[in-house]
Amino acid sequence: VICIGIEGTAEKTGVGIVDSNGKILASQGNPLIPESGGIHPREAAEHHAANIVPLIKDALHESGLGLEDMDLVAFSRGPGLGPALRTVATAARSLALSLNIPIVGVNHCIGHVEIGRLTTGAEDPVTLYVSGGNTQIIAFDAGRYRVFGETLDIAMGNCIDQFSRSVGLGHPGGPVVEKLALKSRNHIKLPYTVKGMDLSFSGLLTAAIRKYESGEAIEDVCYSLQETAFSMLVEVTERALAHSKKREVMLCGGVAANNRLREMLSIMAEEHYAEFHMPPMKYCGDNGAMIAWMGQLMHSHSLVKGMEDTEVIQKYRTDQVDVPWRKSSPK
């Protein structure tokens, strides 16, 4: 079985092709880079509409296959921006209908975990998934991926991006803030908000902007923002690791590009004698290959239903999905 997957929950359009053994035959993507401000759902949808067909062509070219070789269409069903999801679903339905092959909608967050397991060899990790739109600590337990902790308001990447835009550093903020943070060792106290196993970044964001506006050096604010936010992430991941008694920690999502976060998380893992894993950057952020691989996993467990089961689910929860391909967690 050859599966073609289409991703487009947020600002990046991705098309991937994966075979039933998990061999990634192609992965092509194109991010929307806004001229100013953040991402508007409608603009993301227009970006997908303009890019899906060219990316399908590029992915086919990369794989050396033709449309007639495709056996299954997978698409990201949610969670994500409504207009973006609907555009992707419409494209996926049209493709499946025109090729007369089955279609399956998949959970985007689980896609991140599964492409991570596929590309790193991690078996049963506690996963920290941190991106512009999501912040979750995920681990497998009793037939499903459970959310051990998550943000109660904005995502980690979004916090950094909003900070960056507010202080005139542009979008996306991650790489610029990381670079500036390297120039400082001066820690300014900022709100550290962990509630049980959940996180909150909005107070931290407001406080960081205020510090900058009150005259603190931008390098110091960037450094302190990173140190505070990443400590929060590491604390919750550490507790999930201790509770679940798992032996692997995995980092994924666009914020995984950050060297300081990687360093902090891998030190924590080492202290717990756990292995640290991170997929190649290409498969950390949103990509089509993770959607195609999810299609394969769903297909191999008879979870591919008909066209009637393809409506998008904007708030699709990680723990809403049965995961029969992971019988039980190896301890």
Tell me the closest approach of the beta carbon of residue 130 to Fe ion, in angstroms: 10
Asked if 285 is part of the footprint of ligand ATP (rule: CB under 6 A), the reply reads yes
Tokens 């004698």 belong to: 273
Give the CA distances from residue 87 to residues 81, 82, 105, 213, 311, in Å, rounded to whole numbers and listed in that order: 10, 9, 13, 40, 11
Asked if 161 is part of the footprint of Fe ion (rule: CB under 5 A), the reply reads no
Site mask for ligand ATP (CB under 6 A), range 253-272, x = bound: xxx-xx--------------
> Between residue 177 and residue 206, which ones bind ligand ATP under the rule CB under 6 A?
178
Tell me the closest approach of the beta carbon of residue 139 to ligand ATP, in angstroms: 18
Q: How far from chain centre, in Å, is Cα 101?
A: 28
C-alpha R_g of the chain: 20
Tell me the closest approach of the beta carbon of residue 131 to Fe ion, in angstroms: 5
CA distance 132 to 134: 6
Tokens of 253: 């999502």
Asked if 51 is part of the footprint of ligand ATP (rule: CB under 6 A), the reply reads no
Site mask for ligand ATP (CB under 6 A), range 88-117, x = bound: ------------------------------
3-state secondary structure of 60: helix
Asked if 124 is part of the footprint of Fe ion (rule: CB under 5 A), the reply reads no
DSSP state of 292: H
248 contact, one of Fe ion, ligand ATP, none, CB 5-8 Å limit per kind: none
Which range, of 83-91, 93-101, 157-165, 311-319, touches ligand ATP by CB under 6 A? Answer: 157-165
In the set 8, 111, 173, 288, which binds ligand ATP (CB under 6 A)? 173
3-state secondary structure of 30: strand
Q: How many CA atoms lie within 13 A of 174 on its CB side?
A: 19
Q: Which long-range contacts (CB under 8 A, 24 or more apart) does 215-221 make?
A: 216/188, 217/184, 217/186, 218/167, 218/169, 218/180, 219/180, 219/181, 219/183, 219/184, 219/186, 220/184, 220/186, 220/187, 220/188, 221/167, 221/188
Q: Which is nearer to ligand ATP, 63 or 164 (CB)?
A: 164
In the set 28, 127, 134, 310, which binds ligand ATP (CB under 6 A)? 134
Which range, of 18-26, 125-133, 203-211, 307-315, touches ligand ATP by CB under 6 A? Answer: 125-133
In the set 16, 29, 157, 279, which binds ligand ATP (CB under 6 A)? 157
Asked if 286 is part of the footprint of Fe ion (rule: CB under 5 A), the reply reads yes
Asked if 175 is part of the footprint of ligand ATP (rule: CB under 6 A), the reply reads yes
Tell me the closest approach of the beta carbon of residue 135 to ligand ATP, in angstroms: 9
Tokens of 31: 């991010």
Angle between helices 156-166 and 174-181 (to 10 degrees): 80
Nearest to 107 by CA among 118, 115, 95: 115
> Between residue 206 and residue 225, which ones bind ligand ATP under the rule CB under 6 A?
none
Residue number with the smallest Cβ distance to ligand ATP: 254
Contacts to Fe ion by CB under 5 A: 131, 286
Q: Which residues bind ligand ATP (CB under 6 A)?
A: 9-12, 131-134, 157, 160-161, 172-175, 178, 253-255, 257-258, 285-286
